[in-house]
């Protein structure tokens, strides 16, 4: 176990726990955007920034990526932490000013309008889509490219159509709506600003409803070694 202080409260948590998890255990709320409890933390949005005092030295860190250490002091609402969060919120809002999720998070943090130039993009490069596709679905249809400070080319999310099975997890998890999914007349389209892929949906032999992309069902069937006709019937009619 590790003992630390969070907002003047002495707490004990398991070694390896992040500051975010430790705070959550004691009902201390820290805002997050790029964090998901089932995914490897990335620390890209910086909305969870907190102040940490380690050996008497104060520094800012992202709560979702920082594992607690014996004797540290965490300040989740110090002026330094709140200012850093406001700046992070401003940058995100300047990038995606129309995203409802970002607008509401920024408002909670006290930012109504960014002071910097608005860029009107739709992707904040949080990689939730990339991590979900890789870590939960087990595919790599989306990849982050050009990450790094010295890159001359803008970082972006790259799409590999051959790897995409149309499950739509990326659209579900995307906080800004940069990835979308539509089902219509037996077809599903998953798309973003610069890519799209269309999928044929499987028709249930009993009720006649279209219920999931054939490519996705074939992927699951292969993984679980299920009989060829296993998905002929939808879960509701099974």
Which residues contact ligand FES (rule: CB under 6 A)? 32-35, 43-48, 62, 64
User: Binding of ligand SF4 at residue 123 (CB under 6 A)?
Assistant: yes
> Among residues 28, 64, 93, 127, which is the contact residue for ligand SF4, using CB under 6 A?
127
| Cα-based angle 119, 149, 52 (whole degrees, multiple of 5) | 90
> Among residues 102, 157, 164, 165, which is the contact residue for ligand SF4, using CB under 6 A?
157
Beta strands in the chain (DSSP E): 2-6, 9-13, 49-54, 57-62, 73-75, 142-145, 156-159, 180-184, 187-192, 195-203, 210-213
* Nearest distance in Å: CB 49, ligand FES: 7
* Nearest distance in Å: CB 84, ligand FES: 11
> Among residues 102, 176, 202, 231, which is the contact residue for ligand SF4, using CB under 6 A?
176
Cα separation values, 237 from 99, 203, 226, Å = 38, 12, 18
Residue with smaller CB distance to ligand FES, 109 or 217: 109
Cα torsion for 39, 42, 45, 51, to the nearest 10°? Answer: 110
Report what 64 binds from ligand SF4, ligand FES, none; CB cut-off 5-8 Å by kind. ligand FES
CA distance 165 to 22: 36
User: Binding of ligand SF4 at residue 137 (CB under 6 A)?
Assistant: no
199 touches 175 (CB < 8 A): no
Query: How many C-beta atoms lie closer than 10 Å to residue 216's C-beta?
Result: 22
85 touches 147 (CB < 8 A): no
> Among residues 30, 89, 94, 129, which is the contact residue for ligand SF4, using CB under 6 A?
129
* Nearest distance in Å: CB 45, ligand SF4: 9
Residue with smaller CB distance to ligand SF4, 47 or 124: 124
* Nearest distance in Å: CB 104, ligand FES: 15
Query: Could you tell me the sign of the dihedral formed by the alpha carbons of 138, 139, 144, 148, in that order?
Result: positive
Query: How many C-beta atoms lie closer than 10 Å to residue 16's C-beta?
Result: 9
* Nearest distance in Å: CB 178, ligand SF4: 4
Site for ligand SF4, rule CB under 6 A: 123-129, 157, 173-176, 178-179
């Amino acid at each position: 176990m590790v003992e630390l202080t969070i907002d003047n409260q002495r707490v004990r948590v398991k070694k390896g726990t992040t500051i975010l998890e430790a705070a959550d255990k004691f009902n201390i709320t820290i805002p997050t955007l790029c964090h998901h409890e089932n995914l490897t933390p990335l620390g890209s949005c910086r909305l969870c920034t907190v102040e940490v005092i380690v050996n008497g030295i104060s520094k800012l860190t992202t709560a979702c990526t920082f594992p607690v250490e014996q004797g540290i002091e965490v300040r989740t609402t110090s002026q330094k932490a709140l200012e850093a969060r406001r700046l992070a919120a401003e940058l995100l809002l300047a990038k995606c000013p129309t995203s409802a999720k970002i607008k509401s998070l920024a408002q909670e943090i006290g930012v109504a309008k960014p002071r910097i130039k608005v860029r009107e993009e739709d992707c904040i490069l949080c990689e939730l889509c990339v991590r979900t596709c890789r870590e939960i679905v087990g595919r790599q249809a989306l990849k982050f490219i050009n990450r790094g400070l010295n890159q001359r080319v803008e970082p972006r999310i790259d799409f590999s159509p051959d790897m995409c099975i149309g499950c739509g997890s990326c659209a579900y998890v995307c906080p800004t709506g940069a990835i979308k999914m539509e089902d219509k007349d037996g077809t599903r389209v998953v798309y973003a600003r610069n890519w799209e892929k269309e999928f044929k949906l499987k028709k249930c032999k009993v009720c006649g409803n279209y219920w999931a992309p054939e490519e996705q069902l074939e992927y699951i069937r292969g993984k679980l070694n299920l009989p060829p006709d296993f998905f002929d019937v939808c879960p509701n009619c099974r």
